[in-house]
Amino acid sequence: MLKKVNQDNLRWWILFTVIIGTFLGRLDGTIVNLALPKMINDFGITVGAAGWIATAYILANAVFVPIWGKLGDTIGRKKVYIFGFSIFILGSVLASFAWNLSSMIVFRIIQAIAASADYPTAMAIIAVTFKEGKERAQALGIWSSSFAAAIVFGPLLGGPLIDTFGWPSVFLINLPIGIIGILMALRFINESTSEVKTTHFDWWGALTLGGCLSSLVLVLDKGLDWGWFSVYALICYFMTIVLLGLFIKIEQKTEEPIVDLKFFKIPAFVNALVNNFIVFMGMMGGVFLLPIFAQTFLGYTATQSGYLFIPMAIAMMLASPLGGSFTGKIQSRYIIFWSTLVASIGLFLFTRIDPKSTALDLIIPLVIMAFGLGFGMAQRTSIIASVVDKHEIGIASSVLALVRNISGAFGIAIFATILNNSTESNILKISHFSTLTSHNPNVVQQFVSLIILKAQVNAYANVFLISAIVVFVGAFAALLLKVKNERTDIKIQIE
């Protein structure tokens, strides 16, 4: 029997352990993209073909999150966490030996399936380890900050690794860190399962949900290349709608659904998902363009672009536990409202960037946005765990993970389209109000280049403005959460 002091220490060791797993899984999602140019050369493939390396990972990750969440609640979260982590490491090693595009896609799918086990099981492990509401919110806030750290350290680690050791090194780096993470999980994490035992796994629900998500994520990822109203896109829309309808019918009739639809009758649960969707869509839709802007218009290298995100990561890592400490003192909806509002201000400041912008012009908005996002992260996450039954925390957290993943895909797809359309519109608009009297070919070429440059810069400003508006709307959506701390030292309940 552990003494209380040791038990207190154990809780934080458990938190640190799952942070390693979460960090490594998210790091892989960012670091591999840097290696794509080298893979293109080594495999002799096109840029479009290389895109399937990322698409396959996104698809497999999205599809299997709910399945792992249900399995974790059923057979044991520690078992699922360690199994997923181990397979992820194996997939990483295999990927480092990939010899062509097909083998790389297969190994990336293995990685993605395994990595998708992390989020729902890690969140459930934290929720059952930290039972007191305020402490749980702080723990979830600290855990959430690992997402920001992974986004930043991906470019920072990836650039030097690829330049020095080649692209296989971005996969092999997972091996030593992963072994440490697995050993810590075996040592520190306690096994936990749902109090309600599952006798029949909902395979039909899993298959239809998987098919629905595959079609949706595929069209979001490839829609801009295919055309949003192309034959391929229309087939994906049709499959998404049909499979979603089948999934809902199956879940309504099965005794042990993979996603309990009663969650969506809880106002706080639904409104928390809506806020998460809006905020992450706006943030991902705007921020994924920032490294492109820095490298295209400011002449930054990939590594230099990564440096811009270091202050952002620090801001989020500081803000997440700080925001969690206000649990029980201020209603969660107000913390989420103000934090989201601050994030929207940070995004709005990006509308002022241009080719003369300094690093500070990019860092300050990033820090403001990250601090705002991080400050409310614990509440966004803990509400989901607090308003569902304890035995369903794993699957509820997998729904949250799913919403965040899809919202990011939506944001990138929508804002990439807006950037493309806005650029074309701006070229026509600027050309209409511009005149050139010289017929010198060099002057004409320079004139056209300046019009395109101005059109592109204005397009980026439009994207950041729209993303700021989206997040601003998300702030007011948070006010609909209507949750309160009936007993501030124990839990959050629905009004």
Whether residue 148 is predicted with pLDDT greater than 50 in this model: the reply is yes
Instruction: Identify the top-confidence range among 231-235, 289-293, 429-433.
Output: 231-235
Rounded mean pLDDT, 227-249: 90
**What is the C-alpha to C-alpha distance for residues 20 and 14, in angstroms, rounded to an integer?**
10
Rounded mean pLDDT, 28-51: 77
Between 86 and 395, name the one with better pLDDT.
86
Whether residue 93 is predicted with pLDDT greater than 90 in this model: the reply is yes
CATH number belonging to domain 262-495: 1.20.1250.20
Phi, psi of 249 (to 5 degrees): -65, -40
List the chain domain ranges: 1-201, 203-255, 262-495
Q: Which two structure tokens, joined as six digits, stand for 463? A: 């994207």
Q: What is the pLDDT of residue 383?
A: 78
Q: Which of 141-145, 170-174, 194-198 has the lowest mean pLDDT?
A: 194-198
pLDDT band at 314 (very low <50, low <70, confident <90, very high): confident
Whether residue 491 is predicted with pLDDT greater than 60 in this model: the reply is no
pLDDT band at 152 (very low <50, low <70, confident <90, very high): low
Task: Kindly list the distances between the CA atom of residue 121 and the CA atoms of 69, 80, 113, 131, in Å, as whole numbers in the listed order.
Answer: 6, 7, 14, 16
CA atoms within 13 Å, Cβ hemisphere of 216: 21
Q: Which two structure tokens, joined as six digits, stand for 358? A: 């300094």
Residues of the chain with pLDDT > 70: what percent? 84
Pairing of strands 483-487, 491-494: antiparallel
419 within 8 A of 459, measured Cβ to Cβ: yes
pLDDT band at 482 (very low <50, low <70, confident <90, very high): low
**What is the C-alpha to C-alpha distance for residues 410 and 407, in angstroms, rounded to an integer?**
5
Q: Which of 35, 293, 311, 54 is CA-nearest to residue 157?
A: 35
Between 82 and 406, name the one with better pLDDT.
82
Q: What is the pLDDT of residue 3?
A: 45
**What is the C-alpha to C-alpha distance for residues 238 and 231, in angstroms, rounded to an integer?**
11
Phi, psi of 229 (to 5 degrees): -120, 25
DSSP codes of every residue in 97-165: T--SHHHHHHHHHHHHHHHTTHHHHHHHHHHHH--SHHHHHHHHHHHHHHHHHHHHHHHHHHHHHHHHH
Q: What is the pLDDT of residue 490?
A: 34
Whether residue 468 is predicted with pLDDT greater than 80 in this model: the reply is yes
pLDDT band at 485 (very low <50, low <70, confident <90, very high): very low
Rounded mean pLDDT, 386-414: 74
Residue environment code for 253-264, b if the CB has 16+ CB neighbours within 10 A, otherwise e: eeeebbbbeebe
**What is the C-alpha to C-alpha distance for residues 61 and 111, in angstroms, rounded to an integer?**
9
Do 1-201 and 262-495 fold alike per CATH? Answer: yes
Q: What is the pLDDT of residue 444?
A: 62
pLDDT band at 433 (very low <50, low <70, confident <90, very high): low
Q: What's the whole-number average pLDDT of the chain? A: 78
Rounded mean pLDDT, 19-43: 80
DSSP codes of every residue in 81-102: HHHHHHHHHHHHHHHHT--SHH
331-389 pLDDT tens trace: 888 888 899 999 999 989 988 888 888 889 989 998 998 888 888 877 777 777 777 77
471 within 8 A of 343, measured Cβ to Cβ: yes
**What is the C-alpha to C-alpha distance for residues 300 and 307, in angstroms, rounded to an integer?**
10
CATH number belonging to domain 1-201: 1.20.1250.20
What is the model's pTM?
0.71
Q: Which of 114, 100, 111, 118 is CA-nearest to residue 45?
A: 100
- How is residue 325 annotated by DSSP? T
Q: What is the pLDDT of residue 257?
A: 76
